[in-house]
Amino acid sequence: MKNTSPIIFLKNVNKSFPLSLGGVQQVLFDINFTIKSGEFVAIMGPSGSGKSTCMNIIGALDSATSGTYELYGKDTKTMTPDDMATIRNEYIGFVFQNFNLLSKRTVIDNVMLPLMYRGIVMRDRIERAREMLRLVGLEKFETYLPTQLSGGMKQRVAIARALSGNPKLILADEPTGSLDSKMGNEILKFFEKLNRDFGITIIMITHEFEISQYAHRIIHIYDGRITYDGPVPKSETVLLKSEKRVKK
Amino acid sequence: MTLGDIIKESWISVSGNKLRSFLTVLGIIIGVMAVVIMVAVGETVQKSITNQFSALGTNTIVIRAGAARNRGVRMGNRQTLTITDTDQIKRLSDVMYITPAQMGSAQVIYGNKNWSTMILGAYPDYLAIQDIEMEYGTPFDMNAVKNASAYAIIGPDTAYELGLPDDPVGEFIRIQHIPFVVVGVMKARGDSAFGSQDDMIIIPITTFKKRLQGSKFPDAVTMIALKIFPDANNNVVIEQITSLLRQRHRLKDADEDDFQITDMKQIMETMDTVTGYLKLLLIAIAAVSLLVGSIGIMNMMLTSVAERTREIGVRKAIGARERVIIIQFLSESVMISFIGSMIGLVLGVGLSQGVGRFILHYDVPFSIWPVILSVTVAVVVGLASGVMPAIKAAKLNPIDSLRYE
């Protein structure tokens, strides 16, 4: 049973970066959308469209230059870097394209990391991490180092780490980008399962239309503007046509 | 994040790059070891000198003959003190022991062996002033002084060099061809700051002046040494002696003293100050290597922050606050410094004690200072060299860090 209350609210969000030679470059223009709890959303767009910047703002890794971004009803504008760290730790699980596991820590140490920063006692950390490793099918690999695992296994460890803090939201940035198609599909099916069976909200950044098929909604960004926000279309042509509106 | 987590995380990071950590730790080991050894050397020197002076007692006063002056011009050294001065000073109520003294070296012969050694002319009180005990025989008495008897008390090293029998009392030796009878042998005392105390011969001062030196001024001596009663005041006695000698030497008010009086208390205080500065100098030199070691830690930590930029980004992305990142990097630098300091302490104490006991055969005093110093160094150096890299790590932007290649 999905909770339909909005967890992410962006209104007129703009983002610009200072250029080294002076001036600024705007990368996001008046971004407006709401994501409700339990949704599986793909944020799509070609390289350089601003989708990663958008994800950084949603993930409280960066803040908007102007506009409003509320996460679980909390306005991020006035937050300090430490407040943002707490928000990330409590509400968000990150899955990165290149896994970002700590290479000198064992699999279970990596999975326990968010719990360590939350101040959970060691016994509970181990219990929770083992539970997550069981969920991703890696319970026999807890003492392995990430360098001893395949790409698919590494991404499953990263998912276990993202899930260990019991987040309301998983932010996946090109999660299958470093995997072959078979392994990629497995990961995407796992996201589907997490969304369906556990009601976890998933926001996935991708530039591949096939991958977005696992989501229920697509937000298409082109040149820093949203060109499409709706259910997953049957053909990519719909998205490409939406880009033309911006080009004009 | 608990203390256990901090230690574990730091240990994984430090042990993850063994060679680099070892080389960094080595800098601190050498630094702390150098400081510990220098403290031990300084304290040993200070203790040795203090012991030798305190053996003489703080109630010992030495009067030396000064330079004679004519209308304010120094006329060279002259023996301005006399045996009669000694006997007059002896009358002061606070004087316990007193002796005139004059030294010179001479050739000593026993049988077919000869040996050049120091000859000291003195009263028998000299033995009491210097706390000299007898191994064999007894000291000569004041009658021997009065009669300028050819009696000799010899040091154990002199006895050995001359090939005298174990108990040489009654044996005849020749000092500058004058036969002397050995009346006693001193107990071995070891070396002092002024050379061997065991290679010397003590004879009556009158014998020294009249028979050995054949002096035209048999009453003149270069030095008078005395010991006052322990409850007497050094300054009061010095004033009394000054007044007495000025009167005896017929010095006018405008004339400077033609003698110098020093007491062991002054000498000990001066020596203590000198050795204190020496110790500080040694520690300061050793501290330079410690400074170099701490720069090594800072260098390693800065390299580590640069190498682990992505790791820092990951940690921040999943919820590490700035304070936590600072604590983690600080604890790594403190851990390196702590390991280095403890190894340096053990090696420093071990080496200074080992070399002192087994090679130099000298008891090196064990001091708590190196321990306190090492722990302080571990914390201060670790924190000081880690703070800049730690802040740098904490201030990294998580997005840039995650993109870092």
| DSSP states along B97-136 | EEEEEEEEEEEEEETTEEEEEEEEEE-THHHHHTT--EEE
Helices (H), A70-138: 81-91, 107-118, 122-135
Distance CA B17, CA B11 (A): 10
- Nearest CB to B399: which of A61, A86, A104? A61
The confidence score (pLDDT) of residue B216 equals 83
Residue B87 placed within a domain: yes
Give chain B positions within 8 Å (CB) of A113.
315, 318
Per-residue pLDDT at B127: 92
Domains plus CATH for chain A?
37-63+82-247 (3.40.50.300)
Let me know whether B16 and B88 are in one domain: no
Phi, psi torsion values for A68, nearest 5 degrees: -120, 135
Tell me the pLDDT tens digit for each residue of B369-404: 777 877 787 788 888 888 888 998 888 888 888 877
Q: Is B314 exposed, middle or buried (0-12, 13-18, 19+ CB in 10 A)?
A: buried
Is A81's CB within 8 Å of B320's CB? no
| Residue B152 sits in the same domain as residue B20 | no
CA distance B323 to chain A (A): 9
Measure Cα distances from A182 to A68, A162, A187, B21, B363 in Å.
Answer: 39, 22, 9, 42, 76
Assess whether B328 and B227 both reside in one domain.
no
Point out the domain boundary residue: B222, B257, B292.
B257
Angular region, B129: left φ>0, alpha ψ -120 to 50, beta rest: alpha
Q: Are residues B25 and B134 in the same domain?
A: no
Does a structural domain hold residue B74? yes
Residue B316 and residue B290 share a domain = yes
Q: Kindly report the nearest CA distance between residue A235 and chain B, in angstroms.
A: 32
Among B318, B321, B397, the strongest candidate for a mutation testing the A interface, having the largest count of A CBs within 10 A, is B318
CB A77 within 8 Å of CB A64: yes
Give the list of residues 6+ apart from residue B217 with CB closer than 8 angstroms, or none.
B79
Residues B195 and B327 in one domain: no
What are the residues facing B259 on neighbouring strands?
B65
The gap from C-alpha A94 to its chain's centroid, in whole angstroms, comes to 5
My answer on whether B157 and B299 are in the same domain is no
In whole angstroms, what is the distance from residue B71 CA to residue B350 CA?
A: 61
pLDDT at position B67, please? 61
CB contact under 8 A, B318 and A118: no
Judgement on whether residues B245 and B389 belong to the same structural domain of the protein: no
Q: With an 8 Å Cβ cutoff, are B319 and A61 in contact?
A: no
pLDDT of residue B68: 54
Asked whether residue B60 is assigned to any structural domain, the reply reads no
Q: Establish if B264 belongs to a structural domain.
A: no
Binary contact (A82, B323; C-beta < 8 A) = yes
- Final residue in a domain of this structure, among B200, B234, B257: B257
Asked if B314 and A102 come within 8 Å (Cβ–Cβ), the reply is yes
**B98 and B240 co-located in one domain:** yes
A31 within 8 A of A54, measured Cβ to Cβ: yes
Contacts of A90 in chain B (CB under 8 A): 319
Residue B180: helix, strand or coil by DSSP? strand
Q: Is B7 helix (H, G, I), strand (E, B) or coil?
A: helix
Instruction: Report yes or no on B71 lying in a domain.
Output: yes
Q: What is the pLDDT of residue B347?
A: 93
Which of A102, A103, A126 to substitute to test the interface with B, most B CBs within 10 Å? A102
By three-state DSSP, how is residue A60 classified? coil
Contacts of B324 in chain A (CB under 8 A): 117
Tens of pLDDT, residues B229-240 = 988 888 899 999
Q: Which residues of chain B have pLDDT under 70?
A: 52-57, 67-79, 191-196
| CB A204, CB A43: distance < 8 Å | yes
Chain Cα centroid distance, residue A62: 14
Chain A residues inside the 8 Å CB shell of B323:
82
Phi-psi region of B134 (alpha: psi -120 to 50; beta: other; left: phi over 0): beta
Q: Report how far residue B389's alpha carbon sits from residue A134's, in angstroms, rounded to the nearest whole number.
A: 38
Mean pLDDT for each 10-residue chunk of chain A (248 residues)? 73 91 90 93 91 91 91 88 91 89 93 93 94 91 94 91 90 86 87 90 91 92 92 87 73
Residue B113 resides in a domain: yes
Q: Are residues B184 and B309 located together in one domain of the fold?
A: no
ipTM for the predicted complex: 0.88
Phi, psi of B25 (to 5 degrees): -60, -35
Which stretches of chain B sit within 8 Å of chain A by CB?
1-2, 4-5, 12-13, 16, 310-311, 313-324, 398-399, 402
Closest residue in A to B396 (Cα–Cα): A81
Distance (Å, whole) CA A6 – CA A41: 13
User: How close does chain B come to A41, measured CA to CA in Å?
Assistant: 21
A61, B317: Cβ pair inside 8 Å?
yes
- Are B15 and B75 contained in the same domain? no
Last residue of a domain, one of B202, B226, B257: B257
3-state secondary structure at position B18 = helix
**Are B88 and B214 within one domain?**
yes
**Residue range(s) defining the domain that contains residue B76:** 67-257
Contact A100 B314 (CB under 8 A): yes
Phi-psi region of A36 (alpha: psi -120 to 50; beta: other; left: phi over 0): beta
Of B306, B327, B314, B394, nearest in space to A61 by CA: B314
What's the structural domain count of chain B?
Answer: 2
B15 alpha carbon, distance to own chain's centre: 43
B320 and A90 in contact by Cβ < 8 A? no
Among A106, A111, A117, the residue to mutate for chain B (most B Cβ within 10 A): A117
Write out the residues of chain A at the interface with chain B, using a CB-CB cutoff of 8 A: 56, 59, 61-62, 81-82, 85-86, 88-90, 94, 96, 100-102, 104-105, 113-114, 116-119, 122, 161, 165
Q: Please report whether residue B372 resides in a domain.
A: yes
Cα B133 from Cα A184, distance rounded (Å): 97
- Cα distance from N-terminal residue to C-terminal residue, chain A: 42
For residue B58, tell me if it sits in a domain.
no
Q: Which two tokens stand for residue B357?
A: 């006991």
How many other β-carbons are positioned within 10 Å of the β-carbon of residue A62? 21
Strands (E), chain A: 6-18, 24-36, 40-44, 66-71, 74-75, 92-95, 169-173, 201-206, 217-222, 225-231
Amino acid at A137: G
In 3D, which of B229, B241, B234, B289 has the Cα closest to residue B265? B234
Q: Which amino acid, one-letter code, is at B355?
A: V
